[in-house]
């Protein structure tokens, strides 16, 4: 028996966050893709925001797990339970015969796609369509990909960056790399540890990225700084340090360079005709990572193409999945043809 009433649901199942879009309502849920469990008892004690509040504040008896890593299901059972919890939380009641559109990285294997479908079926969802992240992202950004004109999107999510080129309703080229917001935070943590002998939390590295992070550092940014707390790397004692924006920019530059290489590789595989269209139209940026200060300018300097930050960039994948719900059957057949 299905757990959930007849309703159409779009899901952006990300490595960092999960967003749920309800048809004709919009985005109704935004939660961290995180589960807190007691490993000895195989008991889930918290999901999403409640689980995040426990980060760094529990004993070893409680483990915090990201079931989705780099866009791939790493823990099938916890993914299934987390999805069921989030869907019930977003709908506030049980549903029957739901129709679901869920985003997945464009490079995952058929086995990994089947794992997503199996997870949905085990929680009572029998009508589901998987859509590649670039497809959902560019539709959510409001681009009409059905026209015979080249378009390109770069979605910088938590665990991956997904890139796609489109024309006449098809995704022509695609690439996914395991670089996103999580990798950016890891690099910031590593740089802070080396420079200041300070171990900082994921939350602290995220603050540094959002508040003083910069994709295109200039001398005028030298005054930007932020004081954070952490643990001394060797003494283990609490420590407070003021971090300058140049250190954060240097850390972020490693991840940005990898994204630039990936975009260049996709462009190199693109036909001259579509390349001309993309040069004229520019490249759409979506995803939370796209909000990094001066990222469009840095990418344009490296690649010679204009980059445009989409409206509601952080929500484009969920919005795109939601828009696909409006023509579920027709789009399911079209997406299936695109994935052949």
Note the pLDDT tens digit of each residue in 123-143.
Answer: 888 788 899 999 999 999 999
Cite the annotated binding site for ATP by residue number: 158-160, 206-209, 288-291
Q: Can you give the pLDDT at residue 94?
A: 61
| CA nearest neighbour of 131 among 165, 110, 111, 103 | 103
| Beta-bridge partner residues of 133 | none
The answer to whether 131 touches 335, Cβ cutoff 8 Å, is: yes
The pLDDT-based confidence of 96 (bands split at 50, 70, 90) is low
Q: Using CA atoms, how far apart are residues 218 and 208, in angstroms rounded to an integer?
A: 17
Residue range 248-263, pLDDT digits in tens:
999 999 999 999 999 9
Strand order in the sheet with 43-47: 43-47, 35-38, 63-65
Ordered by where they begin, the domains of the chain are: 8-136+317-335 (3.30.420.40), 147-179+255-313 (3.30.420.40), 181-251 (3.90.640.10)
Q: Return the minimum-mean-pLDDT range out of 4-18, 209-223, 256-270.
A: 4-18
Q: Using CA atoms, how far apart are residues 19 and 12, in angstroms rounded to an integer?
A: 5
For residue 276, the 8-state DSSP code is H
Q: Can you give the pLDDT at residue 110?
A: 87
Token code pair at residue 100: 């679901």
Instruction: For the chain, report the end-to-end CA distance as a whole number of angstroms.
Output: 32
| Beta-bridge partner residues of 242 | 227
The answer to whether 15 touches 68, Cβ cutoff 8 Å, is: yes
Residue range 171-190, pLDDT digits in tens:
999 999 999 999 999 999 99
Q: Quote the percentage of the chain above a pLDDT of 90.
A: 73
Token code pair at residue 247: 């250190």
Calculate mean pLDDT across residues 53-62.
85
Q: Can you give the pLDDT at residue 328?
A: 63
The answer to whether 197 touches 179, Cβ cutoff 8 Å, is: no
What is the rounded average pLDDT for all residues in the chain? 91
Cite the annotated binding site by residue number: 158-160, 206-209, 288-291
Q: Can you give the pLDDT at residue 59?
A: 78
Residue with the larger pLDDT of the pair 70 and 7: 70
Q: Please state whether beta strands 8-13 and 170-177 pair in parallel, antiparallel, or not at all (unpaired).
A: unpaired
The pLDDT-based confidence of 305 (bands split at 50, 70, 90) is very high
Calculate mean pLDDT across residues 4-24.
85
For residue 314, the 8-state DSSP code is G
Q: Can you give the pLDDT at residue 56?
A: 82
| Angle at 320 (CA atoms; ends 167, 315), nearest 5 degrees | 125
What is the value of pTM for the model shown? 0.91
Q: Can you give the pLDDT at residue 334?
A: 61
Calculate mean pLDDT across residues 272-285.
97
The answer to whether 104 touches 133, Cβ cutoff 8 Å, is: yes
| Angle at 109 (CA atoms; ends 291, 321), nearest 5 degrees | 45
Query: Is residue 108's pLDDT more than 90?
Result: no
Query: Is residue 327's pLDDT more than 80?
Result: no
Report CA torsion sign: 271, 337, 316, 85: negative
Token code pair at residue 215: 């994709």
| Residue 87, C-beta contacts closer than 8 angstroms, at least 6 positions apart | 3, 4, 9, 20, 95, 98, 123
The answer to whether 100 touches 128, Cβ cutoff 8 Å, is: yes
């Amino acid at each position: 028996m299905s757990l959930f009433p007849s309703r159409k649901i779009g899901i952006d199942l990300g490595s960092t966050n999960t967003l749920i879009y309800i048809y004709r309502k919009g985005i109704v849920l935004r939660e961290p893709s995180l589960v807190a469990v007691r490993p000895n008892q195989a008991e889930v004690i918290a999901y999403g925001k409640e689980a995040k509040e426990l980060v760094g504040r529990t004993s070893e008896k409680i483990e915090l797990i990201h079931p989705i890593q780099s866009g791939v299901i790493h823990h099938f059972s916890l993914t299934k339970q987390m999805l069921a919890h989030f869907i019930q939380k977003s709908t506030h009641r049980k549903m029957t015969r739901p129709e679901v559109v869920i985003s997945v990285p464009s490079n995952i294997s058929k086995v990994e796609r089947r794992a997503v479908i199996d997870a949905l079926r085990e929680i009572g969802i029998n009508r589901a369509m998987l859509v590649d992240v670039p497809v959902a992202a560019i539709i959510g950004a409001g681009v009409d990909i059905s026209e015979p004109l080249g378009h390109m999107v770069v979605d910088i999510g938590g665990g991956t960056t997904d890139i796609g080129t489109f024309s006449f309703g098809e995704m022509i080229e695609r690439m996914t790399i395991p670089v996103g917001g999580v990798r950016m935070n890891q690099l910031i943590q590593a740089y802070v540890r080396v420079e200041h002998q300070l171990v900082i939390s994921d939350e602290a590295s995220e603050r540094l990225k959002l508040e003083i992070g910069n994709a295109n550092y200039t001398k005028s940014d030298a005054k930007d700084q932020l004081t954070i707390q952490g643990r001394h790397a060797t003494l283990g004692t609490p420590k407070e340090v003021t971090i300058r924006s140049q250190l954060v920019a240097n850390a972020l530059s490693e991840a940005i360079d990898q994204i630039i290489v990936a975009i260049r590789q996709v462009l190199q595989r693109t036909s001259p005709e579509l390349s001309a269209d993309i040069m004229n139209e520019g490249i759409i940026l979506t995803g939370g990572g796209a909000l990094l200060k001066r990222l469009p300018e840095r990418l344009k300097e490296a690649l010679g193409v204009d980059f445009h930050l989409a409206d509601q960039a952080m929500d484009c994948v969920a919005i795109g999945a939601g828009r696909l719900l409006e023509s579920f059957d027709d789009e399911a057949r079209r997406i299936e043809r695109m994935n052949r």
